[in-house]
Amino acid sequence: MNTPDSVVRSGPSRRALLAGASGAGLAGAVGLAGATPAAASPVLWQKPGALGAPRVAGLHLQFGSDASREVVISWHSTASVSRPRVLLGTPAGGLGRTVAAQTTTYRDAKSGTEVQVHHARVRGLRADTDYVYAAVHDGAQAEFGTVRTAPRGRSPFTFTSFGDQGTPTLGQKNAAGIYVNDNLGSPAAGDTTAGVERIAPLFHLVNGDLCYANLATNRVRTWSDWFENNSRSARHRPWMPAAGNHENELGNGPIGYGAYQTYFSLPDAGADTELQGLWYAFTAGSVRVISLNNDDVALQDGGNSYVHGYSGGAQKRWLETELAAARAHPDIDWIVVCMHQVVISTADKFNGADLGVREEWVPLFDRYGVDLVVCGHEHHYERSHPVRGQQANDTRTPVPAATDTHTVDTTQGTVHMVIGGGGTSAPSNQLLFPTPQCRVITKVGPADPATGKRPPVYVIEDAPWSAVRDAEHPYGFAAFDVDPGRPGGTTSIHVTYYAVDGPYGDLTAIDRFTLTRPRGHR
Protein backbone atom coordinates (compact mmCIF):
# COMPACT_ATOMS: atom_id res chain seq x y z
CA MET A 1 0.00 0.00 0.00
CA ASN A 2 1.27 3.46 -0.87
CA THR A 3 -0.45 6.30 0.97
CA PRO A 4 0.64 9.84 1.81
CA ASP A 5 2.24 10.54 5.18
CA SER A 6 -0.55 12.91 6.21
CA VAL A 7 -3.77 12.59 4.27
CA VAL A 8 -5.99 14.59 6.61
CA ARG A 9 -4.81 17.54 8.70
CA SER A 10 -8.01 17.69 10.71
CA GLY A 11 -11.36 15.96 10.52
CA PRO A 12 -11.64 12.39 9.16
CA SER A 13 -8.85 9.94 9.82
CA ARG A 14 -6.62 8.43 7.15
CA ARG A 15 -8.39 5.10 7.73
CA ALA A 16 -11.76 6.71 7.04
CA LEU A 17 -10.42 8.44 3.94
CA LEU A 18 -8.99 5.25 2.46
CA ALA A 19 -12.05 3.22 3.36
CA GLY A 20 -14.20 5.76 1.57
CA ALA A 21 -11.83 5.85 -1.37
CA SER A 22 -12.12 2.09 -1.77
CA GLY A 23 -15.86 2.46 -2.20
CA ALA A 24 -15.20 4.56 -5.29
CA GLY A 25 -12.70 2.19 -6.78
CA LEU A 26 -9.66 4.42 -6.25
CA ALA A 27 -7.10 2.11 -7.82
CA GLY A 28 -9.13 1.72 -10.98
CA ALA A 29 -10.05 5.39 -11.15
CA VAL A 30 -6.52 6.70 -11.11
CA GLY A 31 -5.00 3.90 -13.14
CA LEU A 32 -7.24 3.39 -16.19
CA ALA A 33 -9.60 5.78 -17.89
CA GLY A 34 -13.18 4.60 -17.78
CA ALA A 35 -12.47 1.83 -15.29
CA THR A 36 -15.55 0.45 -13.56
CA PRO A 37 -15.66 1.39 -9.87
CA ALA A 38 -14.95 -1.60 -7.69
CA ALA A 39 -17.10 -2.73 -4.83
CA ALA A 40 -16.09 -1.56 -1.36
CA SER A 41 -12.94 -3.41 -0.35
CA PRO A 42 -9.50 -2.68 1.09
CA VAL A 43 -7.49 -0.43 -1.23
CA LEU A 44 -4.81 -2.34 -3.14
CA TRP A 45 -2.61 0.40 -4.51
CA GLN A 46 0.08 -0.51 -6.98
CA LYS A 47 2.89 1.85 -7.81
CA PRO A 48 2.81 2.80 -11.49
CA GLY A 49 5.52 1.37 -13.68
CA ALA A 50 8.61 3.33 -14.65
CA LEU A 51 7.03 5.12 -17.59
CA GLY A 52 9.16 8.24 -17.35
CA ALA A 53 6.25 10.50 -16.42
CA PRO A 54 7.09 13.40 -14.08
CA ARG A 55 5.61 13.21 -10.61
CA VAL A 56 2.72 15.30 -9.36
CA ALA A 57 4.74 18.19 -7.91
CA GLY A 58 3.83 21.31 -5.95
CA LEU A 59 0.23 20.36 -5.21
CA HIS A 60 -1.72 23.42 -4.07
CA LEU A 61 -5.22 24.84 -3.83
CA GLN A 62 -6.96 28.08 -4.70
CA PHE A 63 -10.53 29.20 -4.05
CA GLY A 64 -12.80 30.49 -6.80
CA SER A 65 -14.62 33.80 -6.46
CA ASP A 66 -17.24 32.02 -4.32
CA ALA A 67 -15.15 30.00 -1.89
CA SER A 68 -18.19 28.00 -0.80
CA ARG A 69 -18.66 26.43 -4.23
CA GLU A 70 -15.42 26.48 -6.25
CA VAL A 71 -11.87 25.22 -5.71
CA VAL A 72 -8.91 24.90 -8.10
CA ILE A 73 -6.44 22.04 -7.56
CA SER A 74 -3.05 22.67 -9.19
CA TRP A 75 0.35 21.03 -9.71
CA HIS A 76 3.25 21.48 -12.11
CA SER A 77 5.84 19.72 -14.25
CA THR A 78 8.64 20.64 -16.64
CA ALA A 79 7.65 17.97 -19.15
CA SER A 80 4.40 17.23 -20.93
CA VAL A 81 1.96 14.90 -19.21
CA SER A 82 -1.03 12.95 -20.42
CA ARG A 83 -4.55 13.34 -19.05
CA PRO A 84 -3.94 15.45 -15.93
CA ARG A 85 -7.00 15.06 -13.72
CA VAL A 86 -8.36 15.09 -10.22
CA LEU A 87 -10.45 12.44 -8.51
CA LEU A 88 -12.74 14.12 -6.01
CA GLY A 89 -15.08 12.92 -3.31
CA THR A 90 -15.97 13.02 0.35
CA PRO A 91 -14.37 11.16 3.25
CA ALA A 92 -17.44 8.96 3.55
CA GLY A 93 -18.24 8.50 -0.13
CA GLY A 94 -14.84 8.10 -1.75
CA LEU A 95 -13.38 9.57 -4.92
CA GLY A 96 -16.35 9.32 -7.24
CA ARG A 97 -15.92 12.37 -9.50
CA THR A 98 -13.27 13.00 -12.15
CA VAL A 99 -12.36 16.55 -13.19
CA ALA A 100 -9.98 17.16 -16.09
CA ALA A 101 -7.18 19.66 -15.52
CA GLN A 102 -6.30 22.38 -18.00
CA THR A 103 -2.59 22.99 -18.65
CA THR A 104 -1.04 26.44 -18.88
CA THR A 105 2.62 27.15 -19.56
CA TYR A 106 5.33 29.75 -19.38
CA ARG A 107 8.94 29.66 -20.53
CA ASP A 108 11.41 31.07 -18.04
CA ALA A 109 13.39 33.75 -19.87
CA LYS A 110 16.52 33.18 -17.82
CA SER A 111 16.90 29.40 -18.21
CA GLY A 112 14.73 28.68 -21.23
CA THR A 113 12.86 26.03 -19.22
CA GLU A 114 9.19 25.57 -20.00
CA VAL A 115 6.98 24.99 -16.96
CA GLN A 116 3.57 23.36 -17.30
CA VAL A 117 0.97 23.94 -14.60
CA HIS A 118 -2.15 21.79 -14.45
CA HIS A 119 -5.28 23.36 -12.97
CA ALA A 120 -8.41 21.33 -12.22
CA ARG A 121 -11.30 23.71 -11.56
CA VAL A 122 -13.97 22.04 -9.45
CA ARG A 123 -17.36 23.75 -9.40
CA GLY A 124 -20.71 23.02 -7.79
CA LEU A 125 -19.36 22.06 -4.37
CA ARG A 126 -21.36 22.16 -1.17
CA ALA A 127 -20.64 24.93 1.29
CA ASP A 128 -18.81 24.26 4.55
CA THR A 129 -18.00 20.69 3.50
CA ASP A 130 -14.89 18.50 3.67
CA TYR A 131 -13.67 16.93 0.43
CA VAL A 132 -10.86 14.53 -0.40
CA TYR A 133 -9.05 14.34 -3.72
CA ALA A 134 -6.25 12.70 -5.66
CA ALA A 135 -4.29 14.59 -8.34
CA VAL A 136 -2.76 12.42 -11.04
CA HIS A 137 -1.65 12.16 -14.65
CA ASP A 138 -0.85 9.06 -16.68
CA GLY A 139 2.19 7.16 -15.47
CA ALA A 140 2.46 9.08 -12.18
CA GLN A 141 1.63 8.17 -8.64
CA ALA A 142 -1.40 10.06 -7.30
CA GLU A 143 -0.91 12.77 -4.69
CA PHE A 144 -3.67 13.15 -2.12
CA GLY A 145 -5.13 16.16 -0.42
CA THR A 146 -8.16 17.50 1.39
CA VAL A 147 -10.05 20.76 1.24
CA ARG A 148 -12.90 22.34 3.12
CA THR A 149 -15.15 24.78 1.32
CA ALA A 150 -16.04 28.07 2.95
CA PRO A 151 -19.37 28.59 4.69
CA ARG A 152 -22.08 30.63 3.03
CA GLY A 153 -23.42 33.57 4.93
CA ARG A 154 -22.52 34.46 8.49
CA SER A 155 -20.59 31.57 10.02
CA PRO A 156 -17.35 31.32 12.04
CA PHE A 157 -14.03 30.39 10.44
CA THR A 158 -10.33 31.20 10.73
CA PHE A 159 -7.83 32.49 8.19
CA THR A 160 -4.14 33.35 8.52
CA SER A 161 -1.69 35.70 6.81
CA PHE A 162 2.00 36.44 6.31
CA GLY A 163 4.22 37.80 3.57
CA ASP A 164 7.86 37.73 2.48
CA GLN A 165 8.76 34.08 2.87
CA GLY A 166 11.49 32.81 0.54
CA THR A 167 12.52 29.16 0.83
CA PRO A 168 14.52 27.22 3.42
CA THR A 169 16.56 25.55 0.66
CA LEU A 170 20.02 26.14 -0.84
CA GLY A 171 20.16 27.12 -4.49
CA GLN A 172 23.56 28.56 -5.41
CA LYS A 173 27.24 27.81 -4.81
CA ASN A 174 29.33 30.68 -3.48
CA ALA A 175 32.95 31.43 -4.43
CA ALA A 176 34.14 28.69 -2.07
CA GLY A 177 31.91 26.12 -3.75
CA ILE A 178 29.53 25.93 -0.80
CA TYR A 179 25.80 25.96 -1.39
CA VAL A 180 23.97 29.00 0.01
CA ASN A 181 20.45 30.36 -0.11
CA ASP A 182 20.11 32.91 -2.92
CA ASN A 183 16.49 33.98 -2.53
CA LEU A 184 16.60 35.80 0.85
CA GLY A 185 15.23 32.66 2.48
CA SER A 186 16.18 31.08 5.78
CA PRO A 187 15.19 28.02 7.83
CA ALA A 188 12.36 30.14 9.24
CA ALA A 189 10.68 29.96 5.82
CA GLY A 190 9.88 26.36 6.71
CA ASP A 191 9.03 27.08 10.34
CA THR A 192 6.27 29.53 9.44
CA THR A 193 4.54 26.93 7.26
CA ALA A 194 4.61 24.50 10.18
CA GLY A 195 3.15 27.25 12.36
CA VAL A 196 0.25 27.86 9.96
CA GLU A 197 -0.54 24.15 10.04
CA ARG A 198 -0.79 24.29 13.83
CA ILE A 199 -3.69 26.71 13.38
CA ALA A 200 -5.18 24.80 10.39
CA PRO A 201 -7.03 27.80 8.92
CA LEU A 202 -9.68 27.66 6.23
CA PHE A 203 -7.28 29.61 3.97
CA HIS A 204 -3.98 31.47 4.16
CA LEU A 205 -3.21 34.88 2.63
CA VAL A 206 0.32 35.37 1.27
CA ASN A 207 1.01 39.10 1.26
CA GLY A 208 3.49 39.16 -1.63
CA ASP A 209 7.17 38.26 -2.14
CA LEU A 210 6.49 34.55 -2.11
CA CYS A 211 9.83 32.97 -3.05
CA TYR A 212 12.05 35.80 -4.38
CA ALA A 213 12.70 33.85 -7.58
CA ASN A 214 13.76 37.03 -9.34
CA LEU A 215 16.89 37.10 -7.12
CA ALA A 216 17.77 33.44 -7.62
CA THR A 217 20.30 31.77 -9.87
CA ASN A 218 17.67 29.22 -10.93
CA ARG A 219 14.24 30.82 -10.91
CA VAL A 220 12.37 27.63 -11.82
CA ARG A 221 14.03 25.65 -9.06
CA THR A 222 13.22 28.41 -6.55
CA TRP A 223 9.53 28.29 -7.42
CA SER A 224 9.66 24.50 -7.15
CA ASP A 225 11.34 24.72 -3.74
CA TRP A 226 8.69 27.16 -2.53
CA PHE A 227 5.86 24.83 -3.51
CA GLU A 228 7.66 21.80 -2.07
CA ASN A 229 7.97 23.59 1.26
CA ASN A 230 4.39 24.79 1.33
CA SER A 231 2.48 21.96 -0.32
CA ARG A 232 2.21 20.25 3.07
CA SER A 233 -0.19 23.08 3.92
CA ALA A 234 -1.39 24.32 0.52
CA ARG A 235 -2.72 20.88 -0.52
CA HIS A 236 -5.15 21.07 2.42
CA ARG A 237 -6.11 24.76 2.43
CA PRO A 238 -5.92 27.43 -0.29
CA TRP A 239 -2.90 29.72 -0.14
CA MET A 240 -4.28 32.88 -1.74
CA PRO A 241 -1.47 35.22 -2.86
CA ALA A 242 -0.90 38.86 -3.71
CA ALA A 243 1.90 39.54 -6.17
CA GLY A 244 4.81 41.46 -4.65
CA ASN A 245 7.71 43.27 -6.29
CA HIS A 246 9.86 40.11 -6.20
CA GLU A 247 7.28 38.25 -8.31
CA ASN A 248 8.40 40.59 -11.12
CA GLU A 249 10.89 38.48 -13.13
CA LEU A 250 12.59 40.02 -16.14
CA GLY A 251 11.37 38.52 -19.41
CA ASN A 252 8.63 36.36 -17.92
CA GLY A 253 5.49 37.62 -19.58
CA PRO A 254 4.73 41.09 -20.93
CA ILE A 255 5.23 42.82 -17.55
CA GLY A 256 7.26 40.20 -15.67
CA TYR A 257 4.61 38.25 -13.75
CA GLY A 258 4.32 35.30 -16.15
CA ALA A 259 5.50 32.70 -13.63
CA TYR A 260 3.17 33.92 -10.87
CA GLN A 261 0.23 34.11 -13.28
CA THR A 262 0.87 30.56 -14.50
CA TYR A 263 1.39 28.85 -11.14
CA PHE A 264 -1.86 30.25 -9.73
CA SER A 265 -5.35 30.07 -11.21
CA LEU A 266 -7.08 32.88 -9.34
CA PRO A 267 -10.63 34.26 -9.51
CA ASP A 268 -11.41 36.12 -12.72
CA ALA A 269 -11.58 39.89 -12.30
CA GLY A 270 -12.34 40.65 -15.93
CA ALA A 271 -8.84 41.95 -16.64
CA ASP A 272 -7.12 41.77 -20.01
CA THR A 273 -5.33 38.48 -20.69
CA GLU A 274 -1.84 39.78 -19.87
CA LEU A 275 -3.11 41.14 -16.51
CA GLN A 276 -5.19 38.17 -15.34
CA GLY A 277 -4.58 37.05 -11.79
CA LEU A 278 -2.80 40.23 -10.70
CA TRP A 279 -5.90 41.41 -8.85
CA TYR A 280 -8.95 39.42 -7.80
CA ALA A 281 -11.51 38.92 -5.04
CA PHE A 282 -13.35 36.08 -3.33
CA THR A 283 -16.01 35.65 -0.67
CA ALA A 284 -15.75 33.38 2.37
CA GLY A 285 -18.72 33.58 4.70
CA SER A 286 -19.38 37.25 5.41
CA VAL A 287 -15.82 38.30 4.43
CA ARG A 288 -14.90 39.71 1.04
CA VAL A 289 -11.16 39.41 0.41
CA ILE A 290 -9.63 41.69 -2.24
CA SER A 291 -6.09 41.03 -3.48
CA LEU A 292 -4.20 43.86 -5.17
CA ASN A 293 -0.91 44.21 -7.04
CA ASN A 294 0.65 47.38 -5.66
CA ASP A 295 3.47 47.57 -8.22
CA ASP A 296 0.86 49.25 -10.42
CA VAL A 297 0.71 52.28 -8.10
CA ALA A 298 3.79 52.06 -5.84
CA LEU A 299 6.59 54.50 -6.62
CA GLN A 300 9.45 52.29 -5.43
CA ASP A 301 11.50 50.53 -8.10
CA GLY A 302 11.68 47.12 -6.46
CA GLY A 303 11.31 44.42 -9.11
CA ASN A 304 13.32 43.30 -12.11
CA SER A 305 11.66 46.01 -14.20
CA TYR A 306 9.89 49.26 -13.36
CA VAL A 307 6.20 48.72 -14.14
CA HIS A 308 4.59 51.63 -12.29
CA GLY A 309 1.25 52.43 -13.96
CA TYR A 310 1.21 49.21 -16.00
CA SER A 311 -2.59 48.76 -15.90
CA GLY A 312 -3.39 52.25 -17.21
CA GLY A 313 -5.85 52.71 -14.33
CA ALA A 314 -7.73 49.46 -14.95
CA GLN A 315 -6.91 48.03 -11.52
CA LYS A 316 -8.09 51.18 -9.73
CA ARG A 317 -11.34 51.25 -11.69
CA TRP A 318 -11.95 47.58 -10.85
CA LEU A 319 -11.07 48.19 -7.19
CA GLU A 320 -13.59 50.99 -6.79
CA THR A 321 -16.33 48.93 -8.44
CA GLU A 322 -15.46 45.93 -6.26
CA LEU A 323 -15.38 47.96 -3.04
CA ALA A 324 -18.72 49.62 -3.80
CA ALA A 325 -20.36 46.27 -4.52
CA ALA A 326 -18.92 44.63 -1.41
CA ARG A 327 -19.98 47.43 0.92
CA ALA A 328 -23.50 47.42 -0.55
CA HIS A 329 -23.93 43.63 -0.35
CA PRO A 330 -26.34 42.65 2.44
CA ASP A 331 -24.40 39.47 3.32
CA ILE A 332 -20.91 41.03 3.45
CA ASP A 333 -19.82 42.44 6.80
CA TRP A 334 -16.03 42.58 6.37
CA ILE A 335 -13.80 43.89 3.59
CA VAL A 336 -10.21 42.63 3.88
CA VAL A 337 -7.54 43.83 1.44
CA CYS A 338 -4.39 41.76 0.86
CA MET A 339 -1.49 43.59 -0.84
CA HIS A 340 2.29 43.87 -0.64
CA GLN A 341 3.78 47.39 -0.35
CA VAL A 342 2.72 49.30 2.73
CA VAL A 343 0.87 52.41 3.80
CA ILE A 344 2.51 52.37 7.25
CA SER A 345 5.91 51.33 8.63
CA THR A 346 8.12 52.51 11.47
CA ALA A 347 11.26 50.72 10.23
CA ASP A 348 14.32 52.86 9.51
CA LYS A 349 16.69 52.12 6.61
CA PHE A 350 14.35 49.60 5.01
CA ASN A 351 11.73 49.96 2.27
CA GLY A 352 9.43 52.43 3.98
CA ALA A 353 5.85 53.41 3.22
CA ASP A 354 4.92 54.40 -0.33
CA LEU A 355 3.21 57.65 -1.24
CA GLY A 356 1.87 56.11 -4.45
CA VAL A 357 -0.16 53.57 -2.47
CA ARG A 358 -1.35 56.27 -0.08
CA GLU A 359 -2.51 58.48 -2.93
CA GLU A 360 -4.16 55.81 -5.10
CA TRP A 361 -5.64 53.23 -2.71
CA VAL A 362 -6.17 54.88 0.70
CA PRO A 363 -8.89 57.36 -0.41
CA LEU A 364 -10.84 54.39 -1.77
CA PHE A 365 -10.33 52.44 1.45
CA ASP A 366 -11.71 55.44 3.33
CA ARG A 367 -14.65 56.02 1.00
CA TYR A 368 -15.90 52.44 1.14
CA GLY A 369 -14.97 51.60 4.71
CA VAL A 370 -12.34 48.88 4.23
CA ASP A 371 -11.95 47.16 7.60
CA LEU A 372 -8.52 45.56 7.39
CA VAL A 373 -5.44 45.71 5.15
CA VAL A 374 -2.74 43.02 5.45
CA CYS A 375 0.66 43.68 3.85
CA GLY A 376 4.25 42.48 3.74
CA HIS A 377 7.27 44.27 2.20
CA GLU A 378 8.62 45.34 5.62
CA HIS A 379 10.01 42.22 7.31
CA HIS A 380 8.53 42.63 10.78
CA TYR A 381 5.18 42.95 12.53
CA GLU A 382 3.27 46.11 13.36
CA ARG A 383 -0.23 47.52 13.12
CA SER A 384 -1.92 50.88 12.97
CA HIS A 385 -4.75 52.44 14.87
CA PRO A 386 -7.90 52.65 12.73
CA VAL A 387 -7.14 55.42 10.24
CA ARG A 388 -9.53 57.57 8.26
CA GLY A 389 -8.46 60.54 6.16
CA GLN A 390 -5.02 62.03 5.52
CA GLN A 391 -3.11 65.10 6.61
CA ALA A 392 -2.65 67.75 3.91
CA ASN A 393 1.12 67.33 3.83
CA ASP A 394 3.69 65.98 1.39
CA THR A 395 3.38 62.41 2.70
CA ARG A 396 -0.42 62.23 3.11
CA THR A 397 0.02 61.02 6.70
CA PRO A 398 -2.92 58.78 7.73
CA VAL A 399 -5.05 60.21 10.53
CA PRO A 400 -5.88 57.95 13.50
CA ALA A 401 -9.60 57.84 14.29
CA ALA A 402 -9.26 56.11 17.68
CA THR A 403 -6.46 54.88 19.93
CA ASP A 404 -7.80 51.84 21.81
CA THR A 405 -5.35 49.03 21.01
CA HIS A 406 -7.56 46.21 22.36
CA THR A 407 -10.95 46.68 20.69
CA VAL A 408 -11.22 48.49 17.37
CA ASP A 409 -14.48 49.62 15.76
CA THR A 410 -13.63 49.46 12.05
CA THR A 411 -16.56 51.68 11.10
CA GLN A 412 -14.29 54.46 12.38
CA GLY A 413 -11.30 53.55 10.22
CA THR A 414 -9.13 50.94 8.53
CA VAL A 415 -6.54 48.91 10.44
CA HIS A 416 -3.30 48.30 8.52
CA MET A 417 -1.16 45.31 9.50
CA VAL A 418 2.42 44.74 8.35
CA ILE A 419 3.00 40.97 8.52
CA GLY A 420 6.28 40.52 6.66
CA GLY A 421 7.97 37.93 8.88
CA GLY A 422 7.29 34.96 6.62
CA GLY A 423 10.88 33.71 6.71
CA THR A 424 13.42 35.92 4.95
CA SER A 425 17.05 36.15 5.99
CA ALA A 426 16.70 39.97 6.21
CA PRO A 427 14.22 40.77 9.00
CA SER A 428 13.57 44.42 9.84
CA ASN A 429 12.32 44.12 13.42
CA GLN A 430 15.63 45.47 14.77
CA LEU A 431 15.40 48.57 12.56
CA LEU A 432 12.36 50.21 14.16
CA PHE A 433 12.65 53.89 15.05
CA PRO A 434 12.93 54.27 18.85
CA THR A 435 10.07 56.77 18.74
CA PRO A 436 7.58 55.88 15.99
CA GLN A 437 8.41 57.65 12.75
CA CYS A 438 8.01 56.67 9.12
CA ARG A 439 10.17 57.00 6.03
CA VAL A 440 7.85 57.63 3.08
CA ILE A 441 8.93 57.24 -0.54
CA THR A 442 7.63 60.39 -2.21
CA LYS A 443 9.28 59.94 -5.61
CA VAL A 444 12.12 58.18 -7.39
CA GLY A 445 15.17 59.67 -9.02
CA PRO A 446 16.53 59.02 -12.54
CA ALA A 447 17.72 55.50 -13.30
CA ASP A 448 21.26 54.68 -12.17
CA PRO A 449 23.32 53.91 -15.32
CA ALA A 450 25.13 51.09 -13.50
CA THR A 451 22.08 49.27 -12.13
CA GLY A 452 19.14 50.66 -14.09
CA LYS A 453 17.30 51.20 -10.77
CA ARG A 454 15.52 54.41 -9.80
CA PRO A 455 16.62 55.44 -6.29
CA PRO A 456 13.85 56.31 -3.82
CA VAL A 457 13.52 59.79 -2.34
CA TYR A 458 12.35 59.70 1.27
CA VAL A 459 10.59 62.16 3.58
CA ILE A 460 10.42 61.32 7.29
CA GLU A 461 7.11 61.89 9.10
CA ASP A 462 5.84 61.42 12.63
CA ALA A 463 3.66 58.33 13.00
CA PRO A 464 0.56 59.19 15.07
CA TRP A 465 -1.11 56.18 13.46
CA SER A 466 1.32 53.70 15.07
CA ALA A 467 -0.45 51.34 17.53
CA VAL A 468 1.59 48.17 18.18
CA ARG A 469 4.94 46.92 16.87
CA ASP A 470 7.16 43.98 17.71
CA ALA A 471 10.90 44.65 17.86
CA GLU A 472 11.77 41.31 19.46
CA HIS A 473 10.58 38.59 17.08
CA PRO A 474 11.64 38.41 13.42
CA TYR A 475 9.20 35.72 12.20
CA GLY A 476 5.52 35.05 12.55
CA PHE A 477 2.01 35.30 11.15
CA ALA A 478 -1.45 36.51 12.13
CA ALA A 479 -4.57 34.42 12.68
CA PHE A 480 -8.05 35.89 12.26
CA ASP A 481 -11.03 34.21 13.96
CA VAL A 482 -14.26 35.45 12.40
CA ASP A 483 -17.18 35.57 14.84
CA PRO A 484 -20.43 36.35 12.98
CA GLY A 485 -22.26 37.46 16.13
CA ARG A 486 -26.04 37.54 16.35
CA PRO A 487 -28.69 39.35 14.29
CA GLY A 488 -29.01 42.92 15.45
CA GLY A 489 -25.70 42.78 17.30
CA THR A 490 -22.05 43.08 16.39
CA THR A 491 -19.71 40.86 14.42
CA SER A 492 -16.06 40.50 15.37
CA ILE A 493 -12.70 39.28 14.15
CA HIS A 494 -10.41 38.17 16.96
CA VAL A 495 -6.82 38.68 15.83
CA THR A 496 -3.70 37.01 17.22
CA TYR A 497 -0.19 37.65 15.98
CA TYR A 498 2.03 34.65 16.66
CA ALA A 499 5.81 34.63 16.70
CA VAL A 500 7.17 31.38 15.23
CA ASP A 501 10.26 29.69 16.59
CA GLY A 502 11.77 26.41 15.45
CA PRO A 503 11.16 23.64 12.91
CA TYR A 504 7.96 22.42 14.58
CA GLY A 505 6.23 25.76 14.24
CA ASP A 506 6.17 26.54 17.96
CA LEU A 507 3.95 29.58 18.52
CA THR A 508 4.01 32.43 21.01
CA ALA A 509 1.10 34.87 21.04
CA ILE A 510 2.56 38.41 20.85
CA ASP A 511 -0.42 40.62 20.09
CA ARG A 512 -4.15 40.03 20.58
CA PHE A 513 -6.94 42.43 19.70
CA THR A 514 -10.50 42.47 18.37
CA LEU A 515 -11.98 44.14 15.33
CA THR A 516 -15.68 44.82 15.67
CA ARG A 517 -18.49 46.39 13.70
CA PRO A 518 -22.30 46.28 13.76
CA ARG A 519 -23.50 43.20 11.94
CA GLY A 520 -24.97 44.06 8.56
CA HIS A 521 -24.02 47.73 9.00
CA ARG A 522 -23.55 49.47 5.68
pLDDT of residue 24: 36
CA 249 to chain CA centroid, nearest Å: 18
Mean residue pLDDT of the chain comes to 91
pLDDT of residue 52: 75
Task: Quote the number of domains for the chain.
Answer: 1
Mean pLDDT confidence for 266-270: 97
Does residue 43 register a pLDDT over 70?
Answer: no
Question: Is residue 116 domain-resident?
Answer: no
Least confident residue range of 34-48, 128-142, 366-380, 387-401: 34-48
Contact of 352 with 325, CB cutoff 8 Å:
no
Q: Is 203 helix (H, G, I), strand (E, B) or coil?
A: strand
pLDDT of residue 251: 97
pLDDT of residue 521: 65
Question: Is residue 279 domain-resident?
Answer: yes
- Residues 183-209 have pLDDT tens digits of 999 999 999 999 999 999 999 999 999
Q: What global pTM score does this model have?
A: 0.91
Confidence of residue 47 (pLDDT cuts 50, 70, 90): low
Confidence of residue 22 (pLDDT cuts 50, 70, 90): very low
Does residue 250 register a pLDDT over 50?
Answer: yes
pLDDT of residue 296: 98
For residue 300, the enclosing domain spans 152-518
Does residue 34 register a pLDDT over 70?
Answer: no
Question: Is residue 100 domain-resident?
Answer: no
CA dihedral 367, 372, 378, 382 (to 10 degrees): 120
Question: Is residue 467 domain-resident?
Answer: yes
Does residue 25 register a pLDDT over 60?
Answer: no
pLDDT of residue 33: 32
- Residues 223-238 have pLDDT tens digits of 999 999 999 999 999 9
Confidence of residue 51 (pLDDT cuts 50, 70, 90): low
Mean pLDDT confidence for 287-299: 98
| 386/295 Cα distance (integer angstroms) | 24
- Residues 378-421 have pLDDT tens digits of 999 999 999 999 999 999 999 999 999 999 999 999 999 999 99
Question: Is residue 43 domain-resident?
Answer: no
- Residues 328-373 have pLDDT tens digits of 999 999 999 999 999 999 999 999 999 999 999 999 999 999 999 9
Share of residues in the chain with pLDDT > 90 (%): 89
More confident residue, 456 or 37: 456
The C-alpha angle 228, 158, 422, rounded to 5 degrees, equals 40
Question: Is residue 432 domain-resident?
Answer: yes
Least confident residue range of 32-41, 42-51, 149-158: 32-41
Contact of 214 with 246, CB cutoff 8 Å:
yes
> How many residues in total does the chain contain?
522
Does residue 313 register a pLDDT over 60?
Answer: yes
Does residue 13 register a pLDDT over 60?
Answer: no
Does residue 125 register a pLDDT over 90?
Answer: yes
More confident residue, 37 or 283: 283
Q: Could you tell me which of 263, 325, 326, 271 has the C-alpha nearest to residue 293?
A: 271
What CATH number is given to the structural domain containing 477? 3.60.21.10
434 contacts: CB under 8 Å, gap ≥ 6: none
| 510/394 Cα distance (integer angstroms) | 34
Question: Is residue 134 domain-resident?
Answer: no
Does residue 481 register a pLDDT over 50?
Answer: yes
Contact of 334 with 371, CB cutoff 8 Å:
yes
Question: Is residue 84 domain-resident?
Answer: no
